[in-house]
């Protein structure tokens, strides 16, 4: 198995889960077999806080202290963003899953399938997006900022002309999202090229099948306390926090 962008501890755990899953599948236990099917190119179950006992997601902790990204992103913004906003997406995702389960069990109004499906997409994407966002940043003195190297740097040069041209396109795309949303560097696996995409809300405008490599949250809750309406200044500041070594590992794991 590949590493799924996690540390060795969770890899071992996942390998153990995969073994259990294989046994479960042999025994016809379809639900027990499912956990090892985590998207290899996205995030692990541990990254996303999936609890196999409760069948719910749990909010993962920030991978650093709330003030670790100062002065570019302030501690209060980080605390509210993680503890309130990200927590809200996890809660909304679990609620959508639970309600759809109740509908399938015949205990709730099937006319609400559209509503809960919409909620599942919005909150589920919100949970994944924020998990990627935290991991995609690092304190400036601990890996944040600078430039990519290795295969990712080479691919960026091939697909955007240069790192500077990529950065200009990424920043412009992020700064110009209509309303709330995200800017993403993604891998499009058919033509095998990197693309920059905008995302509205937590899921709209994304292209089916691409793998997110690196994203910036441009909802106002991500920057308004320090930057007010100056989204472009926040996007400029984010560049000093990009965890390129992490993005490189993600990219190289795609094979």
Residues that bind Mn ion (CB under 5 A): 85, 217, 219
**Which residue lies nearer to Mn ion by CB, 57 or 219?**
219
- Give least dist CB 82 to Mn ion, A: 9
Question: Beta-carbon neighbour count of residue 196 at 10 Å?
Answer: 19
- Residue whose Cβ sits closest to Mn ion: 217
- Give least dist CB 58 to Mn ion, A: 18
**Which residue lies nearer to Mn ion by CB, 219 or 238?**
219
**Which residue lies nearer to Mn ion by CB, 159 or 217?**
217
Residue 4's nearest CA partner among 25, 18, 19 is 18
Residue 62, phi then psi, degrees to nearest 5: -60, 145
Q: Distance between CA 37 and CA 169 in Å, rounded?
A: 34
**Which residue lies nearer to Mn ion by CB, 40 or 64?**
64
DSSP sequence for 142-199: TTBSS---HHHHHHHHHHHSSHHHHHHHHHHHHHT-SSSEEEEEEEETTTTEEEEEEE
- Give least dist CB 202 to Mn ion, A: 8
- Give least dist CB 240 to Mn ion, A: 19
**Which residue lies nearer to Mn ion by CB, 47 or 217?**
217
- Give least dist CB 152 to Mn ion, A: 25
């Amino acid at each position: 198995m590949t590493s799924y962008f996690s540390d060795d501890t969770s890899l071992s755990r996942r390998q153990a889960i995969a073994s259990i899953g294989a046994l479960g599948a042999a025994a016809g236990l379809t639900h027990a077999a499912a956990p090892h099917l985590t998207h290899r190119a996205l995030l692990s179950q541990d990254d996303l806080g999936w609890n196999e006992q409760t069948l719910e997601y749990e909010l993962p902790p920030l991978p650093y202290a709330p003030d670790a990204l100062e002065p570019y992103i302030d501690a209060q913004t980080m605390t509210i963003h993680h503890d309130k906003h990200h927590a809200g997406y996890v809660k909304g995702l679990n609620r959508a899953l639970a309600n759809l389960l109740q509908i399938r069990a015949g205990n709730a109004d099937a006319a609400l399938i559209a509503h809960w499906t919409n909620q599942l997409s919005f909150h589920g994407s919100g949970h994944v997006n924020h998990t990627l966002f935290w991991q995609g940043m690092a304190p400036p003195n601990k890996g944040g900022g600078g430039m990519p190297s290795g295969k990712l740097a080479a691919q960026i040069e091939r697909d955007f002309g240069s790192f500077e041209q990529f950065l200009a396109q990424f920043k412009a795309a992020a700064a110009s999202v209509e309303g709330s949303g995200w800017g993403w560097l993604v891998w499009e696996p058919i033509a095998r090229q990197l693309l920059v995409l905008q995302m509205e809300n937590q899921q709209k405008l994304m292209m089916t099948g691409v793998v997110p490599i690196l994203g910036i949250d441009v909802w106002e809750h991500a920057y308004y306390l320090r930057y007010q309406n100056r989204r472009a200044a926040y996007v400029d500041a984010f560049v000093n926090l990009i965890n390129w070594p992490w993005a490189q590992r993600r990219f190289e794991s795609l094979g």
